[in-house]
Structure 1
Amino acid sequence: MEVTIADRQQLSKRKKIGKILEEKGGGFCPIHDFLIHFANKWSMLVILNLGYSGKARFNALKQSTSGISQRMLTVTLRSLEEDGLISRTVFPEIPPRVEYELTSLGKSLLDVMTMMGEWATRHEDEIQHARKAFRKAH
């Protein structure tokens, strides 16, 4: 039995998926850890806004992240800083000035998010059509 190029590609993809789903030391697969920490509404919006603006102060981020509360923005920024996705720079001025920006790790995540956004934009009509069909059938 001969293995085709398509078969090899499918096996290669399956192997990659298997590695992603493998549990690591903490008992979670990497994608599970990612989803818990970064793939929430506010983290993704903050990363996108920092990717767009480059550097931003707290109030500018609050204004550009529609609907986020001051407390949720504080929690989100701390979490992203803890995970190494953003850096926080405090300038010794009166009053103190604080700026946030993406780290190289954050920029690499922004690249992935940009691809996901492009995918969502490209398939928006199909997704809306599928949702309407599903609602109609149920």
Structure 2
Amino acid sequence: MPQSFKWWIAGGVTAFLLVVAGVVWAVSSGGDGPAEVTEEDRIRDLISEFALAVDREDQASILRLLCAEEADEIRAGADFDPTLDGDVDVAVSAAPVSVTDLQITGDTARAGITRPAREPATLAFRKENGTWTVCAPAAGSVPSPYSSR
């Protein structure tokens, strides 16, 4: 048998063993892939992102995270100032947020929110175009990010 043919056989066997080892590793390590992100996870992430936007008085992010109806109402409000976009204090970090009683019903949800030095609030959420948004907060439960400027 020629020397080059032996190298081809050895290389083929090695490649086969590597494939088998990879399959065995994938099966033994769970093989399920990354954990599935649930709707609850998505809403909790939205709550954290929204809290940070409010704490930073980040008007553009707040409007992006609100449902279209709520965002339009803010834009139409007398105290809305479109020049505030981009004027964000990124040094501000969000105060901790605790989420309680998260209830999801189809494309709507509600959750209780508690934060240090603030009254507990209830937020409502709506899924728009496949993305969860903050929508129709309980009256007075979320401080206006525009009133302090």
Q: Give the structure-2-normalised TM-score.
A: 0.25
Q: Give the structure-1-normalised TM-score.
A: 0.26
